[in-house]
Amino acid sequence: MSTETTTPGQVRTASAPPVLGGLGLFTVLLGAALPLIDFFIVNVALPTIGHDLAASESVLELIVSGYGLAYAVLLVLGGRLGDLFGRRRLFLGGMAAFGLTSLACGLAPTAWTLVAARVAQGAASAAMLPQVLATIQAATSGQRRAKAMGLYGATAGLSMVAGQILGGVLVAATPLSFLFGAGTGWRSVFLVNVPVVLVGLFLAARAVPETRSQNPEPVDGPGTVLLAASLLTLLAPLTEGRSAGWPLWTWLSLAAFPFVAAAFYAVERGADRRGRTPLVPPSLFRLVSLRRGLVMIVPFSIGFSGFMFVIAVALQRGAGLGPVRAGLALAPMAVVFFFASLAGPRLVAKYGTRVVTAGAGIQAVGVGLIALAAWRSWPDLGLVELLPGAAIAGAGQALQLPVIFRIVLSEVPTVRAGVGSGVMVTTQQSALALGVATLGTLFLSLTPGLGMRDALVTTLLVQLVGVALTGLLSLRLPRTVG
């Protein structure tokens, strides 16, 4: 019988399907955590970055949005390249590039150098992250896939909260001050990635199987360009508009967005009809589970990222907390999210997707309690005051995000796992960027007139509208998850 060597010390028959073992799953989940942690870890580091590098508010915005834009724009292409050239290969290459760009961020001598390194870091994340879900889809099945998808959702949600906590601890600890001087603890939030990446590369080379589409599809050049243009015309003005004073280019860009998006859809549909392979096959959206799940990801992610940005600003600038206390104030949310997400698969097996509806209701109670705490206790707002609301909100989020991820990919064919993963993560990442742009802009715009307390409470009430929308949309989901 012929054999095929997949990794050192691991041999399987040529006809046997690839299998993602426990160590391999841990490794790809580590790769999933890194980009999401880095999206949020910078929130609490921005004040020290601005002081150390003499960066203006608009440049600080670019440090956040440059990463998010590059990440969102290239995710679908990263998924397609994994289908074409091998997902393990793209995962290894993306992780290595993520480590190098993290090193460049940590050593950046100027603010603009840091912006450039962050854009490159976002591009590296876009090569790595789609391979995680695609590998899970291709190398697991049945209950193992359900468990792996649940752990992916738990990892994603936990990473978004833990990133902010970890950022606060690293900034305050300033372990590199003896090299770079006082006030340079922000460099640690990037340099900490380097040893983690080295461990990840070692484990991935040994434990992650190679998978790819059996019928590789070439890259769709026109579709790639038009998708990138669509996302840029929407996200660039929304993320940079407020700090730049809403110049003419922001309005022209927003006006161009629907036309560019329509051109992208027309090109993709035309390619599909001619038997070519579009970047985002329109036929994917005939899958009810994918279509309705993607719609739910948008309000959920906008609310999640908007809340994380706003609470970081409010606790540091308004309540006067240092980065460690500001980060640890969200620890109850992270802890409860983790444990509640572990119970998610069993609850879904028993109650179906109504678990998502219940999660939205629980999250609404938590956000309401946070708003009440801000109203009654301001400016004495910290861990104790936020604990009940943060814990309840974390439980509600945990019952939504992992389940929605499973639903979106439940009917996607294995041969298009990379494309499906790329589309889902692009939707999530774009919504995360929109959350900072919309809720963040609302909060910062209201603060001068209302004061920070009332601006925070108002923003949280607006977030509650998004939570309610997520709950209503969940009623349209298929009752069971495949």
Is there a contact between 444 and 87 (Cβ–Cβ < 8 Å)? Answer: no
What pTM, to 2 d.p., does this model score?
Answer: 0.80
Runs of H (alpha helix) within 378-416: 383-398, 401-409
The helix-helix angle for 248-273 and 221-244 (nearest 10°) equals: 160
Is there a contact between 154 and 338 (Cβ–Cβ < 8 Å)? Answer: yes
Q: Output the six-digit token pair for 305.
A: 């990222």
Does an H or E element contain 169, and which? helix 142-173
| pLDDT value for 176 | 53
Backbone angles phi, psi at 6, to 5 degrees: -100, -40
| pLDDT value for 326 | 79
Segment 341-395, tens digit of pLDDT: 888 778 888 888 889 999 999 999 999 999 999 999 888 888 888 999 999 999 9
pLDDT class of 216 with cuts at 50, 70, 90: low
In angstroms, the CA 103 to CA 119 distance is: 13
Question: What integer best gives the mean pLDDT of the chain?
Answer: 83
In angstroms, the CA 147 to CA 406 distance is: 10
Does an H or E element contain 3, and which? strand 3-7
pLDDT surpassing 60 at residue 417: yes
Which value, in Å, is the radius of gyration of the alpha carbons in the chain? Answer: 22
Checking DSSP bridges between strand 10-13 and strand 3-7, what pairing results, if any?
A: antiparallel
**Pick from 163, 69, 57: nearest CA to 111:** 57
| pLDDT value for 45 | 80
Segment 108-160, tens digit of pLDDT: 999 999 999 999 999 999 999 889 988 888 888 777 887 887 788 788 778 87
User: Is the peptide bond preceding residue 379 cis, with omega within 30 degrees of 0?
Assistant: yes
As to burial, measured by CB atoms within 10 angstroms (0-12 exposed, 13-18 middle, 19+ buried), residue 295 is: middle
Q: How many CB atoms lie within 10 A of CB 302?
A: 24
| Cβ-count burial 349-370 (b if 16+ within 10 Å, e if not) | eeebbebbbbbbebbbbbbbbb
DSSP state of 208: P
State mean pLDDT over 235-251.
Answer: 83
**Pick from 125, 130, 129, 150: nearest CA to 140:** 150
pLDDT surpassing 80 at residue 452: yes
Residue identified by tokens 């995680």 is 132
**Pick from 101, 76, 122: nearest CA to 418:** 76
In angstroms, the CA 149 to CA 162 distance is: 19
**Pick from 231, 448, 198, 215: nearest CA to 318:** 448
| pLDDT value for 10 | 45
| pLDDT value for 174 | 60
| pLDDT value for 128 | 92
Segment 455-473, tens digit of pLDDT: 999 999 999 999 999 999 9
Q: Output the six-digit token pair for 40.
A: 């949020």
State mean pLDDT over 36-44.
Answer: 80
In angstroms, the CA 192 to CA 185 distance is: 11
pLDDT class of 449 with cuts at 50, 70, 90: confident
pLDDT class of 253 with cuts at 50, 70, 90: very high
Q: Cα 343 vs. chain centroid, distance in angstroms?
A: 22
Is there a contact between 121 and 212 (Cβ–Cβ < 8 Å)? Answer: no
| pLDDT value for 179 | 52
pLDDT surpassing 80 at residue 17: no
What SS3 state is found at 10?
A: strand
pLDDT class of 481 with cuts at 50, 70, 90: low
In angstroms, the CA 264 to CA 273 distance is: 14
In angstroms, the CA 330 to CA 437 distance is: 21
State mean pLDDT over 253-279.
Answer: 87
Q: How many CB atoms lie within 10 A of CB 462?
A: 15
The helix-helix angle for 354-377 and 452-474 (nearest 10°) equals: 170
| pLDDT value for 170 | 78
